[in-house]
Amino acid sequence: MSELLDKALLSELKDIMEESFPDLLDSYITESDKQYQELRTSWSEKDIEQLGRQAHTLKGSCSNMGASSMAEMCSELERGAKNNILDGMEEVMQELSTLHFAVLDEIKELRLNC
């Protein structure tokens, strides 16, 4: 597992959740992907209000699973949407996309090892 995920946090979650930990991983895989796709749609449609909401929701999911770099990208998008400034955010969206799929791959790998 790389630095994309907070190993200590995931270890703690595994200890707390015990047999339910795989369910948590499954939920993250499904829900974060749905949230990401909704965020992409909001971006494509230039729906700034919805973009801000989706970025906030995804940020929370990422934070809960220890994906802090991804949460930071969501936070940048959220701030941009709140301030109605999306100029220059293309790079943030590209980085978020890269991180999203990398984090999903790591969570899926972790899930296989449960």
SS (H, E, C) 25-91: HHHHHHHHHHHHHHHHHHHHCCCHHHHHHHHHHHHHHHHHCCCHHHHHHHHHHHHHHHCCCCCCCHH
**φ/ψ (deg, to 5) at 84:** 60, 35
d(CA 6, CA 3): 7
> What is the CB-side half-sphere exposure of residue 29 using CA atoms within 13 A?
15
pLDDT, mean of residues 4-29? 96
45 part of a folded domain: yes
Structural domain contains residue 2: no
* Residue 100 falls inside a structural domain: yes
**Residue 52 resides in a domain:** yes
Token pair recorded at residue 81: 């949407």
The domain tally of the chain equals: 1
In tens, the pLDDT along 49-85 reads: 999 999 999 999 999 999 999 999 999 999 999 999 8
**For residues 42 and 50, is the Cβ–Cβ distance under 8 A?**
yes
Q: Which domain holds residue 56?
A: 7-112
Residue 3 predicted with pLDDT over 90:
no
Give the total residue count for the chain. 114
Q: What is the pTM of this model?
A: 0.92
pLDDT range class, residue 2, cuts 50, 70, 90 = low
Domain of 11, CATH number, reads: 1.20.120.160
